[in-house]
Amino acid sequence: MNETTLPRLAVTAGEPAGVGPELLARLAASDLAADLVAITDRDLLAEAAARCGLALHLADDDGSRRTHRPAGHLRVRHVPLGAPVRFGRPDPANARHVLDMLGIAADGCLDGRFDAVVTGPVQKASINDAGISFSGHTEFFAERAGAEVVMMLASPELRVTLATTHLPLSAVPAAITPALLERTLRIVHDALRQHFGLASPRIAVLGLNPHAGEDGHMGREEIDTIIPLLERLRAGGMDLSGPLPADTAFVPAMRPRYDAVLAMYHDQALPVLKSEAFDRTVNVTLGLPFIRTSVDHGTALDLAGTGQANPASLFAATRLAIELARQRATV
């Protein structure tokens, strides 16, 4: 990508029986300044556009770059379905279709054919029901790229990263090790510099226990693990605050003091973010050698086929992908 060409984004439709194809059709109808390449079944996308009352001009992707994309024009990398789609009823026979979309998008980013990938929602259970072990987009892309990654949820007001993701609460304390925290903080710090253009990122680190342990009276993880690690990384030049009590870290007076938050577990911070900006929150995978953003909602099977699904999160994910791709091109 150069100053005159558009960022070339691979956009995967996700679960074919969910709302992803309809959201992608609405995205294509917009005039967002990106060369969008849909990775999906072409007929599925055309049918989704028709249900939404949209007239799209679909063309096969020839791999070339362009400087302008008229609204409603979309290039497609066709990935055939494995079975007919029934709205709201995911079919394990389409699991390979979903994974092939992700593989094409990832490989295209790795070899430079795409500047970023934006992913629609998938139905994990349907893929696992097909006998394929699948824990999520993040893990799929990490394995494909051979990278260690961190999940970030970003809204216009707040960036939250997670030390642990989908673990039961009973397993979280043992998972919070110095090695995990150091790896996570280094990935977050580097990504804030390289992708978000922050020369000296400020990261707030939450404690694990209520009141950040209250000097050991409510748990010793802060004293034994978190504080010594933060002191060592500060000595190496990182701007880290904490460990902070999670119940006060997000108040408006605190937010100007940091560029991102590291939470110890999934539900420690994400309810705050989603309650404020659910339809404007974007899932970003940090640590990959390419840019990946995603909607921060599920497949909405109850809305599939109705044309009523809200595309705001996909628009937000695409706008952020454009911003990050352009920032990366200047580094």
Which has the closest alpha carbon to 242: 211, 196, 201, 288?
211
How many CA within 13 A on the CB side of residue 183? Answer: 14
Rounded Cα distance between 266 and 172, Å, is 10
57 is in an annotated binding site: no
195 is in an annotated binding site: no
51 is in an annotated binding site: no
**Residues 244/207, Cβ–Cβ less than 8 Å:** yes
Rounded Cα distance between 232 and 70, Å, is 52
211 is in an annotated binding site: yes
Q: Give whole-number Cα distances, 323 to 54, 187, 218, 319, 329, in Å.
A: 26, 19, 42, 6, 10
283 is in an annotated binding site: yes
68 is in an annotated binding site: no
137 is in an annotated binding site: yes
Rounded Cα distance between 116 and 213, Å, is 40
166 is in an annotated binding site: yes
Sequential DSSP letters for 106-163: HHHHHTTS-SEEEE----HHHHHHTT-----HHHHHHHHHT---EEEEE-SS-EEEES
Nearest 5°: the CA angle 211, 215, 216 is 95
Rounded Cα distance between 207 and 184, Å, is 15
Residues comprising the binding site for a divalent metal cation? 166, 211, 266
**From the annotation, which residues make up the binding site?**
137-138, 166, 211, 266, 274, 283, 292
Binding residues for substrate: 137-138, 274, 283, 292
